[in-house]
Structure 1
Amino acid sequence: MKFQKIPLFIFLLLALSCSENDDPNGDSNPENKFYRGMDLSFQSELESYNVDYKDANGNSVELLDFVESKGTNLIRLKLWHTPQDGENSLEDVKAYALKVKSKNMDFLLNFHYSDYWADPGTQNPPAAWQNMTLDQVKSAIYDYTKNVIAQLNAQNTLPEIIQIGNETDSGFLWDYGKVWNEFSNNWVNYADLVSEAIRAVRAIDTENKVSIMLHHSSVENAIFFFNELQVYNLNFDIIGLSYYPQFQIRDLNLVTSKLNELASTFDKDILMVEVAYPFTLQWNDNQTNYIGSLDQTLSEFSPTPQGQKAYLEWLITTIKNIPNNKGIGFCYWAPDWVAFNGNESTSTNGTSWENQCLFDFNLKALPATYVFNYN
C-alpha cells in the first residue's frame, strides 16, 4: 500500500485528536493496548447453521468482519481436551484462530482442562487423566499444554493471552488441584499444576510474548484467591475476572473498589474476561434463559438495548479508571449465541443466552456493538 504525504499541520491535528485506543486493532505497543474483546467460542458450531447476523440497518454481515469493523480487537476461544457435546476441539480452535489472525485481532486461548464445561462448581479432569497419580497428571498437563501451543505456533497463531483453567476459584482438575471444602489446604498441588502448564507454554514461547492469565469468577472474592497463591510466586501476568450481575454483588461502588484493591494489592493487569448484560427480559426460543426477571439486573441499567449499551459504557469507564493503568480491557461473553435454530429451539438445541447477546431477536446488531470503539 502506498501512503500519500500528509501536510504537517494536518498530521498534528490528527495526533492531537486520536489516541492509541482509537485503532480497533490496538497499537504497536501492546502494553498500552486496551482490549475490547468477544468470546466467540460458539462460532465453530454456529457457522454450520448459517446464522444471518445483520448490522443495525438490517444488512447481512460476516460476523468476524463486522465485529472487527466495530472495534473488537481480541477474540477468546475455549478449548476442551476431548469434547463430549460439540464443544471446541483443538482442530476447531486452530481453524478459527486462523480467521482471527487474518483480521489482525489478538487471540485469547482459554484452556478448560476438562472434556466438558469447567466452572467453580465443576472441574472434572479429562477422562483420559482420571485414574492417574498426581505426578502423572503433572506430566499430562505439561505434555498436553505444550502440544497445543506447539500446534498453534506452527500455524502462526500463537495466542497473545493464554488462560490456565476456567473460573478456577475452587482449583481445577479435581481432586488433584482442588482447593475447596475438604481440600482447602491443597493450594500447593493446585499451584504445582498451574506451574506445569505455564512451563509448557514457555517451552514453546521462548521469547515470553504470551501473557499468562489466571481466572476467578467473582470480583468480590478474588482477593482471597490471589492472596492464597502469592506464596507460590506463580509466573503469571493477568488477573482475569467474570462479572455477571445476576450472580454477584450489584453495588457498583463496591465493584469499583474491589477492582481497585485488586490492582493495588497484586500489581497485575486486570482483564474483565467474562461480562454480559441483557437487552430484554423476553426470550426467543423454548430454552430457559439465565436472566428472566428484573431482580436479576442492576437498578442503574434497564434490560433494554439502551440499558445494555449504558452498562457497557459504565464498565469500560470503570476498567479504564483502575489505578496505574492496570485495567487492560474486557471480553463480552457469547455475544453471538442467538436462537440459532429458530424460535422453536428446545432445551437440547437452543440457547439460554439470546437476551444477553449483542444481536436482537431479528439478528440485528444492538447499540452496544458501537461501544467497542469507545475511547
Structure 2
Amino acid sequence: MKYFKFLLLSLTITSCNSSDNTIEEDLTPPDPTPVFYKGMDLSFQSELEDHSVTYRDVNGSPVDLLNYVTNKGTNLVRLKLWHTSQNGENTLSDVKAYATRIKNTGSNFLLDFHYSDFWADPGTQTPPVAWQNMTDEEIRIAIYEYTKDVVTQLKNQNTLPEIIQIGNKTDSGFLWNYGKVWDEFSNNWGNYAALVREAIRAVREVDTENKVKIMLHHSNVEHSIYFFTELEPFALDYDIIGLSYYPQYQTKDLNLVANKLNILATTFGKDILMVEVAYPFTLQWDDNQNNYIGSLNQIIPEFSPTPEGQKAYMEWLVTTIKNIPENHGIGFCYWAPDWVSFPNNDTSVSGGSAWENQCLFDFDHKALPALDIFSNN
C-alpha cells in the first residue's frame, strides 16, 4: 500500500513536470511576422505644403495627406536628402522635421542619401560642391563623416530610419568620378565599393542596436543582376536590393520582370524592395509641363491608363513581389503620389509637375482607387 501511494505520488509529480514543460514550450513567442512595406516617397511634401496644396478623400473632403495615407495603410515613407541643396529643398532640416511627423504616425522611415546637391541618377552623379577636388582618401573620409553626422542627428531626435539607402539609382556608381563604374571607369568597382563601405560603416557605428537595414539602389529590374554580381567580391554589408520599375523606360514584359526578380532573390539571398514604382491613371495633363508619360506606347498593354488600370497594375505588382522566392519580396514604395499640379505652380514647385497623371490623386486632388491597395495588403 505504501509502495502504491509512493508510485502514485511519483506519477503525479512527473505528470505535473511534463505539463509544466509543455506549457513553457507553448509560451515561446512565435517569430514576428515580417513587415510587408506599402510605401510612398513623399519628398515633395515639405515643398508642396508651402503652397497650401489641398488633398481630398474619395468623397472630396479635405485631408491631411500624411495622416490620410497612413490611415489607408501606408507603413513606409521615403525622403530624399541633398547635401547642400541647390534649390533649398530636401535639406537635412526638412528631412528631420518631416521624419518626426512620420514617426508620430507610427510609420517606418526610409532615408535616401543622394550624396549630391541635387538629383542623382544613372546619368548624373555629381558630388556635392563641398566635396569636389578632393583626393580619393579625402572623399572616403567625407562620406563617412557626413553619413555619421546625419544618422546621429536623426537618432538623437528619435527618428532613426528603419531603412537607409546608400546612393540613389547607383547603376553607374556615384560621386563621379571617384565612384564611377561606367564608360572609361568600368573597372572602378573597387573605389565605388570602398565609398559605399565607408557610408555603411558610419551607419553601423551609430546604429548600435542594429535596427537599420541598408539598401543599395539600382534603377532597372532587367539589368540589375550585372550590378549586384560586380559587387559580390567586395562582400558589402547590405541587407536590401532596392529597384525601380517604370515601364515607360524598361521592359513591359511582365513575365520577364517576375523572372528577373526571382533570379535576384535566389542568386544573392537579399530582400527586395521595389523602391520606386508608379503608373498613370490617365494620359492627359493638368498643367503646361510635359509629363514623363503621355502615350500608349509607354504603358503596359495589360493595364489601361485609367484609374482602374492603375489599380490593376498595383495589384499585379503586389502579387509579383509576394511571389518572390523565400519571402524575399518585402514591399514597394510609390514614387511621388502627391506631386499634383495646382494653379500657378509652373514656376514654383520644380517648374510645375511632370507627374500629375501618375499620382494617387486625380486632377481634383481626390484619392484614386489604387490607394485601396495600401488598405488591402
TM above 0.5, one fold?
A: yes
Partner of 1:111 in structure 2?
A: 113
Change over 3 Å in CA distance of 1:362–1:29 after alignment to 2 = farther
Partner of 2:90 in structure 1?
A: 88
> AA paired with 1:256?
A
Change over 3 Å in CA distance of 1:127–1:280 after alignment to 2 = same
Q: Which digits, 9 at most, give the CA deviation of each residue in 1:25-56, with x for residues without a partner?
A: xxx97760000000000001001111110001
Change over 3 Å in CA distance of 1:339–1:223 after alignment to 2 = same
Q: Which digits, 9 at most, give the CA deviation of each residue in 1:169-195, with x for residues without a partner?
A: 000000000000000000000000000
Which of 181, 184, 187 is equivalent to 1:182? 184
Q: Does 1:245 align with 2:247?
A: yes
Q: Does 1:137 align with 2:139?
A: yes
SS in 2 for 1:197: helix
> AA paired with 1:254?
L
Change over 3 Å in CA distance of 1:30–1:295 after alignment to 2 = farther
1:281-360 superposed matches below 5 A = 281-342=283-344, 349-360=351-362
SS in 1 for 2:214: strand
| In 2: Cα distance, 1:40 partner to 1:340 partner | 17
| In 1: Cα distance, 2:348 partner to 2:70 partner | 31
| In 2: Cα distance, 1:76 partner to 1:346 partner | 22
Partner of 1:157 in structure 2?
A: 159
| In 1: Cα distance, 2:326 partner to 2:131 partner | 41
Change over 3 Å in CA distance of 1:86–1:339 after alignment to 2 = farther
| In 2: Cα distance, 1:251 partner to 1:216 partner | 19
RMSD: 1.4
Which of 70, 73, 77 is equivalent to 1:71? 73
CA contact (8 A) 2:113 2:166 kept: yes
Partner of 2:102 in structure 1?
A: 100
Gaps in structure 2 of 5+ consecutive residues: 1-29
Q: How much does 1:331 deviate?
A: 0.0
CA contact (8 A) 2:164 2:215 kept: yes
1:215-234 superposed matches below 5 A = 215-234=217-236
CA contact (8 A) 1:271 1:330 kept: yes
Q: How much does 1:251 deviate?
A: 0.3
| In 2: Cα distance, 1:263 partner to 1:171 partner | 22
Change over 3 Å in CA distance of 1:29–1:39 after alignment to 2 = farther
Q: How much does 1:319 deviate?
A: 0.1
CA contact (8 A) 1:87 1:116 kept: no
CA contact (8 A) 1:287 1:347 kept: no
| In 1: Cα distance, 2:49 partner to 2:211 partner | 31
Gaps in structure 1 of 5+ consecutive residues: 1-27
Q: Does 1:37 align with 2:39?
A: yes
Q: How much does 1:207 deviate?
A: 1.5
CA contact (8 A) 2:345 2:351 kept: no
Q: Which digits, 9 at most, give the CA deviation of each residue in 1:266-286, with x for residues without a partner?
A: 000000000000000000011
SS in 1 for 2:243: strand
TM-score (norm 2): 0.90
Q: How much does 1:203 deviate?
A: 1.2
Matched length = 348
| In 2: Cα distance, 1:340 partner to 1:124 partner | 31
Q: How much does 1:87 deviate?
A: 2.7
Q: Which has the larger radius of gyration?
A: 2
SS in 2 for 1:208: coil
> AA paired with 1:215?
H
> AA paired with 1:121?
G
CA contact (8 A) 1:45 1:86 kept: no
Q: How much does 1:370 deviate?
A: 1.1
Q: Does 1:61 align with 2:91?
A: no
CA contact (8 A) 1:219 1:242 kept: yes
| In 2: Cα distance, 1:206 partner to 1:118 partner | 29
> AA paired with 1:305?
P
